[in-house]
Structure 1
Amino acid sequence: MTTPRILIIAGSDSGGGAGIQADIKTVTMLGGHAMTAITAITAQNTMGVQAVMPVPADIVVAQIASCVSDIGVDAVKIGMIGSAETAHAVADALEGLGVPIVFDPVMVATSGAALADADTIAAFDRLMRLATLVTPNVPELAALSPPVRFELVEGHTSGDASGARASTGSARTGGRAEMLAAITGTAILAKGGHGDSDTLTDRLVGPAGEIARWDSPRIATRHTHGTGCTLASAIATELARGAPLPHAIERARAFVRLAMLGAPGFGGGHGPMGHQTVRLDGPRPAPTPNQITLPLIDFAASAAFCEALGLTRIVDAAPRYARFESEGGVTLSIEAADEMPHGPMLYFECDDLDATVAALRALGATVGDPVDQRWGWREARTRDPAGNALCLYQSGEARRFPAWRIA
């Protein structure tokens, strides 16, 4: 498998939660090679931004040229720009590159500190038109869009508001994303993280209207520093692999949520996420064996044995079931033997369960239809040629972070 080469153009975060640091961690954990063109140096931590020093535009361009001319680039992620001059210089450098570009129009840090002035925001127009995808949050979308909400209608041409009408869409982003996509000719991922409802909605909108949307429960945490950087870098990495845009976004969203759930709890403010904890449950292009279930006869004895091996108990439904997590991210369950007539079972997590089932059936394997289980997994059972019991499944966050997790 070819390693995706991702060029990241963004600022440095001394606290390691966002910016270049979050981008590098994301690309690395997703199996890519991260390269950087640093646009600004910041002194910041979980409490806020204490100082910013932009990097001269010619040095930013030199970093880009060094990477492109030797190593090569499969996708670009743009974050904090630093100045209007740098925005135009980056646009000049990227024109004609011919790879996916994901632009996260960073204006304000999670702490509330401004990271782009009015002239820089005005210069974002060129970068948006070059991009494959722009990923604004609610405040950024408001700043980048016309003040009146509009929605694309049949016959509306890019940049012409005369054919638009008032939106009846989302209360926070309705119409603005459609208008921005129409004006720039670029896909817009309108992020809902700054909303206040229990459900977070992200909308993918193209020049012709909404393409897809994703709804997920809001994660109650203060450790959200770097979510936008992480999402954009994850999307860029998946696009570099050749994933369709909606699929790349879906995988990236899963990565961000897992990193939030694995946050280490650092700092007194908006803390960093736990990129390093997204191991075998992150989005993978091929099925990954990451869970095994063993029959138990004596619950206490089996549980003590697992813990003696250094495993952490994360689910406890004694005396019938328990699940343990290893330091490397693999999970092991013990289950009452009368629930497991076929003996031990190895689980393969699949990015596309239906496609995996179809591929095995094409080889002549007998595979059950996927079933939605009450514990949040979608499973299809089969056996390998030697008769070993296997489960193909999708679980997202529910394998390591079920609602009933105890540790």
Structure 2
Amino acid sequence: MIFMRKALTIAGSDSGGGAGIEADLKTFASFGVHGLVAITSVTAQNTREVRAIYDISPDVVAKQIEAVADDIGVDAAKTGMLSNAEIIKAVAKTVEKYGFPLVVDPVMIAKSGAPLLREDAVEALIEYILPIATLVTPNIPEAEKLSGIEIKCREDAKRAAKIIVKELGAGAVIVKGGHLKGHEAIDVLYYNGKFREYRAPFVKGCTHGTGCSFSAAITANLAKGKSLEEAIGKAKEFITMGIYYGIKIGHGHCPVNQNAWRDIPAEKWRIYEELMILGETLTKLNDAYLLYALPAPYTRSEKDICVLRRGEIKFGAPEELASVLMDRMRKEPDIRSALFVKGDVRFGKSPRDILKSLGII
């Protein structure tokens, strides 16, 4: 039997596929972890708004957790949208029975601004969920709500994190720094009485589902047996990439691209294999450059284009040649390859298309 780790998301459903359990399952899959689900609420949602919310009964939420835990097993779990106090109590009582690591994303407000946690449920979250949390992952507004202090800088974030652990009983907390302006996105972890910062360049891109995807990435890595600090480090890399390569859909806050983490390495390897096969064939063309780009959503610069020349294969095409191919890709996204021979340039969907058109293969 092939062994696979299992991660559970206890959260709401986003009909737009950008956040909630949809984002969590994509994230689990990107890390090679089997995703399990306990749906707490169904939302009618898109990139601009939440139109309706229907809460699942607390008993059914609990039974979903029990069903997968009893049969399949859970290596780590996360919570997202818990919506009301009764669901929170049911989740806390059920999770305590199994004792798996629990990452708590204290979802309170959707990216569109719609409330996802009722005001009277905040106290229930603090009383029942935080004390059983392995890690809590609030953004700045959520950390302010939980800790009761205003956060204007990293030192404030550290004070809030300490309150959530020391006074509210969480095992650890990472206060996400995306709302604090700067050249870097700096998250502050408080764990085992020590602070640690996780830094990444502040990238512009799509941000719908960032909190869900970040906490899901931590959960997936905990399920795979990584330490808490390792899991957070991987999740930080993952979410930075997901924002940068976000999916430009809808007319509001476009969603994070969870697939980038898996797609880019896979595509690079496929390109390398293809060019290895064609390497000897290209020697028939004197001093030619054969370029092969990552799929259009992932080609942002010359670093994303592989070049084969004189038997050598490497990512990082000459800038002047890469710009010619990228200009063509903007008009025709399916075009990914270019052959540059002295006095001539040919374009195609793949290197094979070009070489076939020349009668070389």
Q: Is the 8 A contact 1:259 1:273 kept in 2?
A: yes
Q: CA deviation at 1:80?
A: 0.4
Identical residues among aligned pairs (%): 35
In the alignment, which residue of structure 1 is the partner of 2:340?
none
> Counterpart of 1:43?
44
Q: 1:303 to 1:174 in 2, by over 3 A?
A: same
What is the CA distance between 1:261 and its match in structure 2?
A: 2.1
1:291 and 1:346 in contact (8 A); partners too: no
Asked whether the equivalents of residues 182 and 208 of structure 1 are also in contact (C-alpha less than 8 Å), the reply is no
Alignment of 1:279-318 (within 5 A): 279=262, 292=272, 301-303=288-290, 306=292, 315-316=301-302
Distance 2:106 2:255 in 1: 20
1:301 Cα deviation after fit: 3.2
Tell me the equivalent position of 1:75. Answer: 76
Q: CA–CA distance in 2 between the matches of 1:311 and 1:37?
A: 32
Kindly indicate whether residue 320 of structure 2 is the aligned counterpart of residue 333 of structure 1.
no
Query: Using a 3 Å threshold, how does the CA distance of structure 1 residues 310 and 301 change in structure 2: closer, same or farther?
Result: farther
Cα distance, 1:265 vs structure 2? 0.4
**What TM-score do you get using the length of structure 2 for normalisation?**
0.76
Q: Distance in 2 between matches of 1:171 and 1:185?
A: 19
Structure 2: segments with no counterpart, 5+ residues = 317-325, 330-361
Partner of 2:338: none
Structure 1 stretches lacking a partner, 5+ long: 150-167, 317-321, 325-331, 338-342, 348-374, 376-404
Secondary structure of the residue that 2:74 maps to in structure 1? coil
Corresponding residue of 1:139: 141
**Residues 118-167 of structure 1: CA distance to partner in whole angstroms, max 9, x if unpaired?**
22111112211111100000000000003378xxxxxxxxxxxxxxxxxx
Displacement of 1:180: 1.0
Match of 2:232 among 232, 249, 253: 249
> How many Å separate the matches in 2 of 1:174 and 1:313?
38
Counterpart Cα distance in 2 of 1:185 and 1:209:
14
Counterpart-to-counterpart distance in 1, 2:297 and 2:286: 15
- State the distance in 2 between where 1:186 and 1:33 align: 25
Change (3 A) 1:291 1:128: farther
> Alignment partner for residue 129 of structure 2, among 127, 143, 148?
127
Structure with more helix by fraction: 2
User: Paired residues, what number?
Assistant: 307
Equivalent-residue separation in structure 2 for 1:57 and 1:264 (angstroms): 34
Q: Deviations over 1:95-138 (max 9, x none)?
A: 14122110000000111111111221111122111111000000
Residue 88 of structure 1: SS of its match in structure 2?
A: helix
Structure 2 counterpart of 1:178: 162
Query: How far 1:291 moved relative to its partner?
Result: 7.6
Provide the C-alpha distance between the structure 2 equivalents of 1:61 and 1:50, rounded to a whole number of angstroms: 26
* Distance in structure 1 (CA, Å) of the matches to 2:197 and 2:27: 23
Quickly say closer, same or farther: Cα 1:300–1:64, change in 2 above 3 A. farther
Query: What letter is aligned with 2:260?
Result: T
Equivalent residue in structure 2 for 1:220, among 204, 220, 223: 204
Secondary structure of the residue aligned to 2:204 is: coil
Query: 1:241-390 to 2 correspondence within 5 Å?
Result: 241-279=224-262, 292=272, 301-303=288-290, 306=292, 315-316=301-302, 323-324=304-305, 332-334=306-308, 344=312
- C-alpha contact 1:262 1:278 (8 A) present in aligned 2: no
| 2: CA distance, partners of 1:238 / 1:281 | 19
Q: How well do the aligned residues superpose, as a CA RMSD in angstroms? A: 3.2
Task: Give SS of 1:201's match.
Answer: strand
Q: 1:194 matched to which residue of 2?
A: 179
